[in-house]
Amino acid sequence: MRRPVPHTLRGQLTAGLVLLLAVACLAVGITTALALEGFLVSRLDQQLTASGGRFAASLEHEVRPDADNRPDTRGQSEHTLGARLLNGTITQAAVVDEAADRPVPLTAEDRRALAAVPVDADGHSIRLSVLGAYRVTAVTGDDHDVLITGLPLHPVEETVHRLEVVEAIVFGTALLVTGVTGALWVRISLRPLHRVTAQAANVAGLPLASGEVAMPGPLPVTGPRTEVGQVATALNRMLGHVGDALTRRQASEERLRHFAADASHELRTPVANIRGHAELALRHHGPVPAEVVRALERIEAESRRMSGLVDDLLLLARLDAGRPLDHEPVDLTLLVLDATEDARAAGPGHRWLLDLPEEPVTVTGDAHRLHQAIGNLLTNARTHTPDGTEVTVRLRAEHTTARLTVTDNGPGIPGELQPEVFGRFVRADHSRSRRTGSTGLGLSIVHAVVTAHGGTIEVDSRPGHTSFEMALPR
């Protein structure tokens, strides 16, 4: 199982600080423990050298120098080990116990361990099954035997273990205090970085795609030479460039929007005049050549098409400018019924199906614009599918949303066109669009109207299935 790794910079810095301190404490603890153990063992070696093997030598005489015929334990500390080897065999072994000697029952393994001690007067560590760890030294006796003297290592091990416990407590407390203090210090040190992060998150949440954007003010730079200060300076510079670019874009969009609105408004009158004169000429009762009649009919048709294009452009310009819409209760069920009847009359070759709830579905908005958006969806389904296509209009009321879905089983929308299907002047079939009089603004008007009402519009299309779903807040 992988160990958890801190994901935040504060956690990583704190963990790194504590880890470095833990490594340092571990190195200090190991070094001091080894140094103390070496010092205490060298003291044992000095004691063994100073004893000169006197206790072990007293074991080789049958007649003891003292009155009680006992080994010479004078000046020997308690638990001192003495052993005599003759021809590699242990003949006597005893331990000083309460200023007397006590024979030691050695096992075969203990005897082999004692016999393997080098006769060099240096200290060596061995472990006996009956006595534990001992520091021993071996010298040659007067009778060409080997005299072994040893002192227990238990006091050394106990002292070193006590030091390790104390170091563990002290170092553990130091690590805990350092971790808490380091976390607070890192948190205080990273406050400027938090402000940078908050500023970046604030800018990321702004609607930068369109409209006028109010960029936040620059961040205060407390330490321009620090890494955090450099990041804050770079962010301020970047936000300044972004703000300037957005201001220029907004000014350009405003100019383009005003131009489209002014041009559309100015074109409405001459287009209406051209259409009126064409209709008037067609009503002339005198003989008119067929070629002239055909030309007048084309003038009337194109002026009607241009009039629709001008109206659509003017509507989009007004929606882009944020012109307020009506906010009144709108019966979507009635709008769907009326729009479907109009579509059925315009496209009798299609099969129009309705799936409506029993209760009326109402929303708050502009009834005229919503009727236009629904009509554009149905017109799109009728225009871009052949006769015999089944078009289903479904309306559903949810708790906070009204959903209108227009589905057909036509050829579908090409995959490369779907991401921009709601764009302006987007046509799936240019020749068909010109033949049918489509301006390529129908779905963009639907998107603009739905967005102005706070809703969403989505498309899902593949061969044999195309669905437009409009969601409006209730």
Token pair recorded at residue 370: 């919503």
| 170 found inside a domain | no
Residues 316 and 401 grouped into a single domain: no
Amino acid residing at 472: L
- Please tell me the distance from the alpha carbon of residue 101 to that of residue 71, in angstroms, as a whole number: 7
Highest mean pLDDT among 92-106, 219-233, 317-331, 405-419: 405-419
Condensed to tens digits (0 to 9), the pLDDT of residues 71-109 reads 555 567 778 888 888 888 888 888 887 655 678 888 889
CATH number for the domain harbouring residue 117: 3.30.450
Residues 233 and 254 grouped into a single domain: yes
Q: Which residues pair with 250 in a beta bridge?
A: none
Residues 380 and 433 grouped into a single domain: yes
Enumerate residues 6+ apart whose C-beta is below 8 A from 67.
none
Domain boundary, last residue among 323, 340, 358: 323
Domain assignment of residue 207, given as a range: 202-323
The mean pLDDT value for 364-383 works out to 91
The mean pLDDT value for 161-167 works out to 93
Give pLDDT, residue 28: 93
Residues 287 and 384 grouped into a single domain: no
Lowest mean pLDDT, pick from 7-16, 25-34, 152-161, 260-269: 260-269
Condensed to tens digits (0 to 9), the pLDDT of residues 437-462 reads 456 778 888 898 898 888 999 999 99
pTM above threshold 0.85: no
Residues 129 and 26 grouped into a single domain: yes
| 417 found inside a domain | yes
- Please tell me the distance from the alpha carbon of residue 274 to that of residue 265, in angstroms, as a whole number: 15
CATH number for the domain harbouring residue 269: 1.10.287.130
Q: Judge whether 324 and 268 are in contact, CB under 8 Å.
A: no
- Please tell me the distance from the alpha carbon of residue 348 to that of residue 178, in angstroms, as a whole number: 82
Residues 318 and 376 grouped into a single domain: no
| 179 found inside a domain | no
Give pLDDT, residue 433: 41
Name the percent of the chain lying above pLDDT 70: 83
| 172 found inside a domain | no
**What confidence tier does 290 reach under pLDDT thresholds 50, 70, 90?**
confident
**How many domains, the chain?**
3
| 174 found inside a domain | no
Domain boundary, last residue among 259, 290, 323: 323
Instruction: Say if residue 206's pLDDT is above 80.
Output: no
| 166 found inside a domain | no
Q: Which of 451, 462, 463 is nearest to 211 (CA)?
A: 451
Question: From the CB of residue 259, how many other CB atoms can be counted at a distance below 10 Å?
Answer: 11
Q: Which of 423, 336, 337, 431 is nearest to 383 (CA)?
A: 431
Residues 441 and 348 grouped into a single domain: yes
Enumerate residues 6+ apart whose C-beta is below 8 A from 449.
319, 366, 369, 370, 372, 373
